[in-house]
Each structure stands twice: as structure tokens, then as C-alpha cells.
Structure 1
Amino acid sequence: MTDLSRLSPVFSPGEVWLVGAGPGDPGLLTVHALNALAQADAVVHDALIGEGVLSLARDGAVLEYAGKRGGRPSAQQDAICERLIALARAGKRVLRLKGGDPFVFGRGGEEALALARAGIRFRIVPGVSSGLAALAQHGVPATTRDTNHAVILATGHCAADGESVDWEALARAGAPIVLYMAVANLGGIAEALIRGGLAPTTPTLVVHGATTARETLLEAPLAQLPSLADGGAIASPAIVAVGAIAAFRQAIAEHVQAFRQAVGS
């Protein structure tokens, strides 16, 4: 068996690695992420990091929860940054483990800047972005030559000052939209997208718990999202795709079903 540790750099004491853990399935960890788990003294992890991933940490590693969940008591970002700095100054190998990719709505940039200002050595380890993985898991491409040459990634989580994305402007852009952290505000977002010009019948795909055992899938026209969200049919965390690509799963499913019937499987 290949020794994968030789493919990764040495994780030195006093360093912080900002690592993307992917969408949830431990099999989608990168080699660098896996080796970071095997070497870290302290693992500071987000709410969406599952037991399957955390179980890969080395024996003796300290696991520290630093999760952020909308509407619930959560760790403050400044406190998280201070903790990373303190652990590194204590000579620990510090693994900051984030769901998806640390630089895609993961506040990895804020933490990298805080570490740089404090003079702490750090490394960025990209991860599989949850938004793209949730779609790919169900045969939905983020782009195709026949439907779109651009895709918009947007967070549905309002900023602390109450400001949000200009959804009507994004609707007019004409590109499919992939929403992260949008469940709490999904009704208002859908209504704004329709005001911006998207047809009420625009296809959407909602993937809850992507790549995990709790994964669920929902397909509906855009106009139905407010009532589905208000009725509790859409659970968090979820990725929501809006636009032509959202209909791609059904097209593939039809071909797969026809193939299985043809070969008698």
C-alpha cells in the first residue's frame, strides 16, 4: 500500500492548517486533510464536521468545537481566531477543520488574515466545496455547454448588519445560482428572484445533508420554495440549486432507467 504521508508536507509544531473537510463523506477528504488529521495535536472544528471525519484524528488529539449555527448560541469569530493563535503559540499542531472548502463561505480568509497579523505560520488546504459536491452527487453539473457558461455561488445568510445579496440583480444575471446557508431565508430569496425576472416555474434542486447518511433530495419549481420552507419540508443544512442545471438530474435518471430496462437489471 502506498504511504500517503509522503505526499503531504510536515505539520510542524506552532503551525495552523486551515483545512477543508469536504461535504461530509470522509471518502471525499483530500490526502493533505487526512494527513493533517493524523498529525494534529488540536482539532478546532465546525458544526458540520461529522463523527466519521473526526474519528480519523490521531489518538490523543484534543477536539475543540467551534461551530456556528444560525439562530443558536455560536462561537464568535474573534474568539476562534484568538484560540487558534493561542494554541499555535503553545507549540501545538493546530488543525482548523471546516466543512466544504475553507475559502468558500467558510471564513477561512478572516482566519488566515488574523494568523498572518499574529505572525503564526499557516497553510491552506482546499476542500471539495459542498455546493458543487451536492450537485455532482446526483449527476448535476455546475456548468454544461448547453445550459450555462457561468454559475453563481451565493450565501443566503444575512450579514451581521442585516445587509444581504441583491437577489433581483442575480436573477437578471441569467446564470444558475447555487445557494449555501439559505434555508432560514429561502422564502424571501425565492420571492426576490422571481421579482428579478426568474420564472416561477424555474427548476430548483434542494440537497440536505449532502454525501451523508441523512441526505435527502427535493425537486420543485421556484415558486413552491417559500411554502416548502415555511412548512418545514426543507431542513438545514442544505444546498439549493436554482436554474437550468437543476433539471439535469431528472434527465440523467430517465436515461439510466431506460438503460436498466434495456439490459434487464
Structure 2
Amino acid sequence: MNGRATVEQALARLNFKPRELEPGHVWLAGAGPGDPGCLTLEVLAALGQCDALVYDALVSPEVVAVAQGAELFYAGKRGGQPSMKQDDINALLVRLARQGRRVVRLKGGDPYIFGRGGEEALALAGEKIPFRVLSGLTSGLSALAATGIPATMRGINKAVILATGHAAGTDDDIDWAAIARTGQPVVVYMGMANLPVIAAKLLEGGLAPSTPAAVIVAATTPQERIVVATLATIADEAAAAGLASPALIVVGGIVAMRAALAGEE
């Protein structure tokens, strides 16, 4: 029995009945970390129904291609590059819905984890546009699993902190010292450009220079890369390896589990 037949039979046994995407409705959906295999069934079904797809830069071409009958609207956001403004994206979603379109707004990861899904939902609610949120596998946790790092490990951590590094070093920055004092691992989204600043602030907050750290690029995809180092050296080692956004930064004892699970210790 081939793999495709096995999948089709499994889906038939599941008896999954997707909800209907109605005209004038917007579904905010998460595509997961990149691998099409990380799509949820609900998101897959939504892509098959929509006639307007508004998608981000982190969504793979293979996933976009699932929406075969849809008009495509690219709304990618990349740090330091020309990007569609959030207000314009909100207005586009409202306009498409008022045209009676079946709209899917597709984001990498999960729309409610540093994906501005809450802002878009609020804009739709304010305009009385019916909407629904379809969760996706958030990239922060999926990237850890893909690269052999458990997000939680008894004896190592009792919490995981998800943080954005986008504003590191600005007046809008978060309190990295407070995060360091928790002693819990932190997964940083959108922080690659500010990695030296983030590492320095965590060190100033009391984390040991030897704290394990990693940078993960393009997790779950064929382009996946990871650099493992210490908090004191991760910025230099990531730069030497030529790693660039989009990437996730992981700091904490859980990173050391990667080598143990691979039998390297």
C-alpha cells in the first residue's frame, strides 16, 4: 500500500466534515512553520474553498498552490524590506469580504502568536465582517521539535517564554532582565537583526555566558539550518554561519537536550 492511499484511507476513517466558508466571511488561518505536512485539516479545507487568498511571505509556494481556484493577494512582511502596511491589509480584507468573496488570510505559524491576527480580527469585528480563526502550529514550538529540542523537559524548565525581539534596543523594548531572572527558556521571534543586543541584555540580566543558545532558520523546510552555541557566542557564530531572517532564537537549558537526544553526549 502506498503512502497516498494510506493517507486517503486515514482521512476517510476520520470522517472529517469541514465547515463551509461562506461568501463575505474571512478566515484568519495559520500555515504552520513551513512544511505542508504541518497544515491542519481545517486550514487545508479552507484553502480548498476560498476564492481570495491573502498570504504572507513565510507561506510556502506549495501551500499557496492548494488554493487553486483563488485570486492571490500577496501581503508579505519582512523586516527591513518594503512591506504592505497593516492598515492596508485590514482594509483589503474588509473590501474583499464586502465584495462577497470567500476570504482566507493565511500567515506563517499561528495567526495569534506574533502574527497580528488579533489586530486583523479587531478590524473585521469593527466593520461587522464575520470571521473565524483557524490555529496553526506556531513556528516557535514547531521549530524546536523539528531540530530536536524539547520545549519542556522535567528537571530543566517549568515554563517557556515566547517573546518578540523586533523592538530590542528601542524605547518599546521588553524587559530582558526580567526574562533572564525567571531562569526559564525563551524563544525569540523576529529578533535576528537584534541578536547581539538581545544576548547582551540577557547576560546583563544575570544569565550565565555558558547558557545554551541556538538560532534556527527555515525550520521544517529543506532550507532548515541551525547553529548551536552559548549565549556569549551565539551572535558571532550565527553571523559567521551567514544566518539571516526569518529565524528563531532559543536560549536556555533545553537547547542542550539536542545533543543528548542525538546521542552526542
Scaled by the length of structure 2, the TM-score of the pair is: 0.92
1 CA distance for matches of 2:255 and 2:73?
37
1 CA distance for matches of 2:213 and 2:116?
27
Change (3 A) 1:217 1:231: closer
1 CA distance for matches of 2:153 and 2:237?
28
Match of 1:13 among 23, 31, 36: 23
**Any conservation in 2 of the 1:202–1:244 contact (CA below 8 Å)?**
yes
Letter in 2 for 1:25: D
CA deviations 1:156-211 (Å, max 9, x no partner) are 1118x851111111111111001111100000000000000001111012110000
Q: CA deviation at 1:138?
A: 2.2
1 CA distance for matches of 2:95 and 2:121?
14
The answer as to 2:32 corresponding to 1:22 is: yes
Match of 2:262 among 250, 253, 260: 253
The answer as to 2:221 corresponding to 1:212 is: yes
CA deviations 1:27-61 (Å, max 9, x no partner) are 11000000011000111001111111111112x31
Structure 2 match to 1:263: none
**Any conservation in 1 of the 2:215–2:238 contact (CA below 8 Å)?**
no
Match of 1:226 among 201, 223, 235: 235
**Any conservation in 2 of the 1:171–1:196 contact (CA below 8 Å)?**
yes
Structure 2 match to 1:133: 142
Letter in 2 for 1:235: A
Report how many residues are paired: 254
Q: CA deviation at 1:234?
A: 2.3
Structure 2 match to 1:262: none
2 CA distance for matches of 1:136 and 1:214?
16
Match of 2:53 among 24, 43, 47: 43
Letter in 2 for 1:200: P
SS at match of 2:248: strand
Specify every segment of 5 or more residues in structure 2 that has no aligned partner in the other structure, as ranges: 1-8
**Any conservation in 1 of the 2:212–2:253 contact (CA below 8 Å)?**
yes
The answer as to 2:212 corresponding to 1:188 is: no
CA deviations 1:71-126 (Å, max 9, x no partner) are 11001000000000000000000000000000000000000000000000000000
**Aligned-CA RMSD value:** 1.7
2 CA distance for matches of 1:157 and 1:173?
21
Letter in 2 for 1:203: P
The 10-residue stretch of structure 1 (33-42 or 134-143) with the greater mean CA deviation from structure 2: 134-143
Structure 1 match to 2:98: 89
**Any conservation in 2 of the 1:13–1:92 contact (CA below 8 Å)?**
yes
Specify every segment of 5 or more residues in structure 1 that has no aligned partner in the other structure, as ranges: 258-265
Scaled by the length of structure 1, the TM-score of the pair is: 0.92
Structure 1 match to 2:208: 199
Q: CA deviation at 1:233?
A: 2.8
Letter in 2 for 1:252: L
Structure 2 match to 1:240: 249
SS at match of 2:29: strand
2 CA distance for matches of 1:134 and 1:220?
17
Structure 2 match to 1:261: none
2 CA distance for matches of 1:241 and 1:214?
18
**Any conservation in 1 of the 2:227–2:238 contact (CA below 8 Å)?**
no
1 CA distance for matches of 2:48 and 2:101?
14
Identity of aligned residues (%): 54
SS at match of 1:250: helix
Structure 2 match to 1:179: 188
